[in-house]
Amino acid sequence: MYSFQAKYYTSYQEVPASILSAFMEQTELSESIRIKKGQLLFWEEHYLRLMASMRILRMEIPMEFTLAYLENQLLVFCEKIQTTAFSGVVKIHVVAAKKPTADLPIPASLFSITAEKGNGNFSYKHDDHPIDLYKDHYLSKGLFSSLESVHDQWRNMAWVYAYENSLSDGIVLNEDKQLVETLRGTLFLVKGNTVFTPSLASGCRKTVYRSLLTTLLSENDTFELLEEEISPFAIQKADELFVLAGVEGIYSIGQYRKKRFKSEQTQKILALLLNKLS
């Protein structure tokens, strides 16, 4: 089942060629939303992020792109895939219908929806596989880098490096050689009760779950959250490292080079997040 422009198709051959070519040729903006038993989680936050991203990318926001309309489109698509309450991840993809021209600098926007079945739960694992810095290329800082789909090709190159070196993930650096995030998601360093994470100005992606967790930590009496520029040398001084991997969950990093990490505080932070999600 495929959904393009609120219409449903059983094969790509049925989709109008103009729509397919737009999704093949134009840069895509996407937003992934966890859905559990037919309920979209943090949908309003995801919607606001999608709208903000479209404005930054100078994309047309159709009049029908309301909170209620897109929510209904996502839920109806999931119902068509599975008649019982759907759990997993549903994703909305948005592209421009064509390249901008002098006569039409902001072309119409098109959207499609995909979904992947799952249990809808927020997962946790402790990964003992090594992780290392990716230093072949550096990310630029600033607002543009905070968008989800920016630098996709760059990240694919970084994943090639990680796989070739038997790494479970790669730590991304910006042009100032400061920590940004990992290829999987938002990076957090724990030292005692202090939690460090790169600031948005460093170039990390501004995701819904990053905003949720940083808010929880800043409001919690047990932990102190510091969002700041972080040198790679800080990794060796940390007690724990963990990654918030978007809608997937949290995984704690077991090893960085010769340094091994614990996960006690990470599991306490996970409990805070799970309590909020419930």
List, run by run, the mean pLDDT of 10-residue segments along the chain (278 residues): 93 93 92 93 95 94 96 95 88 95 95 91 86 92 77 88 93 94 95 95 91 94 95 96 90 91 93 86
Q: What is the mean pLDDT of the chain?
A: 92
What does the domain layout of the chain look like in residue ranges?
2-117, 123-277
- Tell me how far apart the alpha carbons of residues 120 and 82 are, in angstroms, rounded to a whole number: 14
Per CATH, 2-117 and 123-277 having the same topology is answered no
pLDDT tens digits along 145-177: 778 777 788 889 999 999 999 999 999 999 999
Top-level CATH class of 123-277? alpha beta
Closest CA to 192 of 225, 228, 155: 225
pLDDT, position 250? 93
**What residues does 260 pair with on adjacent strands?**
255
Top-level CATH class of 2-117? alpha beta
pLDDT, position 225? 97
Q: Taking each helix axis from N to C terminus, what angle separates 43-56 and 67-81, rounded to the nearest 10 degrees? A: 120
pLDDT tens digits along 225-245: 999 999 999 999 999 999 999
pLDDT, position 14? 95
